[in-house]
Amino acid sequence: MSWHRQRFPLVPPEQAETCCRCGKPTRIPVPVHCVPRASGPDVIIYACPNCAVHLVPGPLPGELK
């Protein structure tokens, strides 16, 4: 199977997040809000750069302490 891996190397998928304002996936997600959850890790809300400038930034991880 090594030949298969060499011909088709596993590359990590590009980090794409959905913009919370326009709903479109963005390759340059900007964290604009952090929603704490009691039963798991915090949910980070992302926006695309175009929308991020229109959003009021909320607390980010590390800023809640």
Structure tokens belonging to residue 15:
């980090």
Tell me phi and psi for residue 18, to 5 degrees. -90, 130
- The interface region with Zn ion, picked from 4-12, 29-37, 42-50, 57-65 by CB under 5 A, is 42-50
Q: Would you state the torsion angle of the CA atoms of residues 57, 20, 15, 8, taken in this order, to the nearest 10 degrees?
A: 180
Binding to Zn ion by CB under 5 A, coded x per residue (else -) over 1-40, reads ------------------x-xx------------------
Task: Return the number of the residue (22 or 64) whose C-beta is nearest Zn ion.
Answer: 22
> What secondary structure letter does DSSP report for 39?
T
Position 51 contacts Zn ion (CB under 5 A): yes
